[in-house]
Structure 1
């Protein structure tokens, strides 16, 4: 079934604020704009992996997943039908817009639009970072991970498990945090689910991973220099051991910029439960005070 996070699409009235963040802080590459003037971002040889469309308000437009084989899309259609979820085969025009060969679309019970794709277009040796960096960890591990806020992550556990996500571990801090983490490739988690109040759901953050710890430290300094609102200080997570920091984006959700996350050995991995989110660091940063927890929407 699903084996990677292929891309992410956002709508935002602040799309024109993105290029400076992408180039001056992340070191990623701006691709050619989309047909609607969207900002497209490259992290590797894929034509693009993040797209910020113009919109009247911040919105999670779509979450794009990848499968390894074209036949997996047919199997996924049957699985979704068994779950009572209506899915559609996307048009050739939509596939071309997303720079993939085949695509299916569906909306989950919490109102997120998902696009599952096969045949993402790549151009060899086309990635050119906007500043000197070691590069991003992508390839078979995909773009990174997303954390979705849902009102009942135990219910969601069964749903996403049917799509190919396997539990890596949980973090439970009574009264403060309940989260589940899922892998679908070697990356410790490609999908994370965090508990939020009833009636709403949202995209909390996207994680992008670097190949060098120094890339993360330098980006932290550059974020401060360019006035990017930091939300969590440098720290190391307890479960995936990622060394990272968090910042707010111009479009309400957050980005985790990290290095050194654990990789899963599927045959030997045993899920665990942790009672804290960080071994050290990851303290709330003053500049993040009052920032939204993510792009939130009402659950249908």
Structure 2
């Protein structure tokens, strides 16, 4: 089978798997604060919905306190088999998901394979739709052709991560952001696999091979249907006592208005509204200075938090980041 056909546009972020021992806190955070539809599956499994798809977040009991897998909805069987053929051609092992695993994720035809930073990548073709009406505090979330949002990852090897998503999904570079936080210079690469401005963001400390974040993901994002949904969920996060990471603000590159809450597992959760949709005929990558036009100021940061971050960064020097080399060496130049 040919491995050269482009799958860009047929790929959409479909679900996220989170592992935690704080299930009751996650239930309150996801349903009561963020406003998603919640379903208990068993005493150690729950799911959240954003739309008619049965599962958008699968939260399972376990010690990771992190995102452990990303599920990608592939539009058609030809594109699915194209991606499968690429992975096999690079000698990377694939595992067929069991019937039970597919049912938990609300999907059919599930395949999984290794991803950067230990985040398992899963692909599926057909999402299962739920007949049960949504019960949620939010009026709605934007999914569809754009997928369900995005994930941001910090990396000591950003070129290899960009190469990975290019090899597997034909990801395209949307733009860059240069940012300085507490004297540390960051470069952030934004990658898209469909019309959404980005489904993956990769942040790296410029000139230093350090990773200042404990978790595999720095944050994940979902998009609300209305500005009022952002404001109301922001208020609920505060009232229910969850930590806020960044106040409301608007980004320079995708123009999304959003805030960042801190999840019970420690990584951040961005709730946003109205990002730009990329026009493939006219879009050209560019570099923006700073992540925000206004707002997004840190909330509740202390000197102890900053010292912990420096310790984490120093510790990252002693361990090699897994980029799945067989899939990440695509000849993309350093940028």
2:163 to 158, 164, 188: 158
In the alignment, what sits opposite 1:77? 84
Distance, in Å, in 1 between the alignment partners of 2:133 and 2:186 is 38
> What is residue 184 of structure 1 aligned with on the other side?
193
* Match of residue 23, structure 1, among 2, 21, 31: 31
After TM superposition, give the deviation of residue 62 of structure 1 in Å. Answer: 1.1
Unpaired segments ≥5 residues, structure 1? none
The separation in 2 between residues aligned to 1:72 and 1:21, in whole angstroms, is 36
| Contact 1:104–1:115, Cα closer than 8 Å, also in 2 | yes
1:84/1:169 Cα in 2 relative to 1: closer, same or farther (>3 Å)?
Answer: farther
Residues 132-171 of structure 1 aligned to structure 2 (within 5 Å): 133-162=138-167, 163-171=169-177
Hey, what does 1:14 align to over in structure 2? 22
CA distance in structure 1 between the partners assigned to 2:69 and 2:13 by the alignment = 11
Q: Separation in 1 of the partners of 2:75 and 2:41? A: 26
Q: 1:172 aligns with which of 168, 171, 178?
A: 178
Aligned length: 296
Q: SS at the partner of 1:180? A: strand
Give the secondary structure class of the aligned counterpart of 2:203.
strand
Q: Is the 8 A contact 1:232 1:245 kept in 2?
A: yes
Alpha-carbon distance change, 74 to 244 in structure 1, aligned in 2, over 3 angstroms: same
**Match in the other structure for 1:212:** 226
Which of 262, 266, 277 pairs up with 1:248?
A: 262
**Closer/same/farther in 2, CA of residues 47 and 179 from structure 1, 3 Å limit:** same
TM-fit CA distance, 1:244: 0.4
CA distance in structure 2 between the partners assigned to 1:22 and 1:159 by the alignment:
30
List aligned pairs for 1:10-159, cutoff 5 A. Answer: 10-31=18-39, 33-35=40-42, 37-123=44-130, 126-131=132-137, 133-159=138-164
* Structure 1 residues 79 and 198: alpha-carbon distance in aligned structure 2, compared to 1, 3 A threshold: farther
Superposed CA RMSD in Å reads 2.4
- Whole-angstrom distance in 1 between the partners of 2:170 and 2:215: 21
Range moving further from structure 2, 82-91 or 106-115: 82-91
1:223 to partner: Cα distance: 1.4
Partner SS state of residue 251, structure 1: coil
Normalised by the length of structure 1, the TM-score is 0.90
Shift of 1:97: 2.7
1:7, 1:143 within 8 Å by CA — same for their partners in 2?
yes
Question: Offset at 1:91?
Answer: 3.1
Change (3 A) 1:81 1:245: same
SS at match of 1:245: strand
Q: Which structure shows the bigger proportion of residues in helix conformation?
A: 2
Q: Identify if the C-alpha distance between structure 1 residues 268 and 157 changes in structure 2 by more than 3 Å, giving closer, same or farther.
A: same
Q: How many angstroms does 1:188 deviate by?
A: 0.9
Question: Unaligned regions of 5+ residues in structure 2, if any?
Answer: 1-6, 323-335
CA-CA distance at 1:127 after TM superposition: 4.2
- Once the two structures are superposed, residues 148-183 of structure 1 have per-residue CA deviations (whole angstroms, 9 ceiling, x without a partner) of 122111122122112231111111236422111111
TM-score (norm 2): 0.81
1:201: Cα distance to partner?
A: 6.9
Q: Of the two, which has the highest radius of gyration?
A: 2
Q: CA deviation at 1:64?
A: 0.7
Aligned partner of 1:235 in structure 2 is 249
Deviation at 1:83, TM superposition (A): 3.6
Which has a greater percent of strand?
Answer: 1
Contact in 2 for aligned 1:62/1:115 (Cα 8 Å):
yes
1:61-100, CA deviations, whole angstroms, 9 ceiling, x for partnerless residues? Answer: 2111111002222211221234442223333333223221
